[in-house]
Structure 1
């Protein structure tokens, strides 16, 4: 190995470690976002001034968009609107991250996530779409599908979990299935999260190194890494054969996770004709006191030890 090769390898290793550090900070951000607001920018030790400013802009825009999502939620509840949002993409593309930011400040009774496991033996004998139908929204509900019926066009096709006939039947059925849902009054928004080969490899390696994230790496994820080109082919077929005017596909460029979150939420808000709902002022009632009320002490054995 020449001196130049060693220098390039060292630079590559340094860049990789920098990205791992960024990914770690991003994981911390996921928790900080629940507490931080635009007046308190904490936990950014080790970042450059440019990175701190970028992070501050990100939080400011995220909180603004989450405020709009609350308005959307109120409007959906009031009008009885029904919204389905489908999130598809490669493993580690960032689908879960944007779903978390969408639901973070919303009422789970209004906005819920459907993340279905692999079908059981009984479900395999049902009409393919049947197990998804029960998760569709009623009036005044939003359902986010963290992967969806498009499993058949992706992982099932690549891994051989469906036959050629089942695969072709899916593409004959899915446009009519979605048109039927739209005719019934359900709005469908479909997102594909796109990442590069190098970016997915980096995110997988970061998960390998982080004990708190290793659970995210299933044997299927590891196999999908090996079959990158197969997944690319079936993705291209899926986007071509199921892109219909009533429920078109939208591609989110997701190499930069924070920008992908902001862009996706902004686009989603633009797909629904929501308006701000006026609310009556909230007035906290006076606490009622009764002279005969006696509060009984809680037994010490029931108290959680105050370790901290």
Structure 2
């Protein structure tokens, strides 16, 4: 039986990242932290309703607690997708109001919805009516020429009135024209104070901070003052960071042993290969685990070269592990 997930507890989460936080990545991350909230890749509502749900939504029970992020702006579609995701066993459903890519804008979802807070509220209301799960919103502090104070407050207040259970705020504006998604992660200045002011104004609302955090030391002050922190690329590229989460943020006695976490992946890879999968589909998420340690280069070389061979097995992982000290 999965552990009960409560939105109003302190949360450390790994951000949803397209092409990265698939089920293999999440299973690996779960070996490193038992407490982190893991997010599936964002999935659009039409894909959930009409697509291959096993491929898009399937996950292993060990991944709990795990959230799914939906992309969409049609309340009826979001309600139907929320019902489907609930039936699949997710612990939380999150609405994407933060992604600035052209593809997302053309579908009228993501960060462009910051300009339509009434619509976001209708979407959240429909989702809440379709699921007993926590429904949360991931947003920016504003877009383009919006006033950061007014835009964020209006979005939050309207969606709270619609029943939203919490917010993850990427503490940057998004520029919908003129900046790429990558530039939107780096160029607009971070404004952590704006997120803290939101929490001070709404002390009983679950507020989590995202954006620019690279280490647990950087995240800790925000974790202490807010309801949680979310890391994305830093956690993906340096997954050893996750091995310290349970000890440093949640009071576990010891950090996770990296070697034990790797060895725990062996039966998972065996099962994946037996089902027709490839080793590289799993180990591509593990390349950065030993960055900075002796043998890290050989670890990456072996995983990169050997895992793509048609006859590769979990032995590839053990061979690479033997090179690390």
Q: Same fold (TM over 0.5)?
A: no
- Normalised TM-score (structure 2): 0.29
Normalized per residue, the structure richer in strand is 2
Higher RCO, 1 vs 2 (CA within 8 Å, ≥6 residues apart):
1
In our comparison, the structure showing a higher alpha carbon Rg is 1
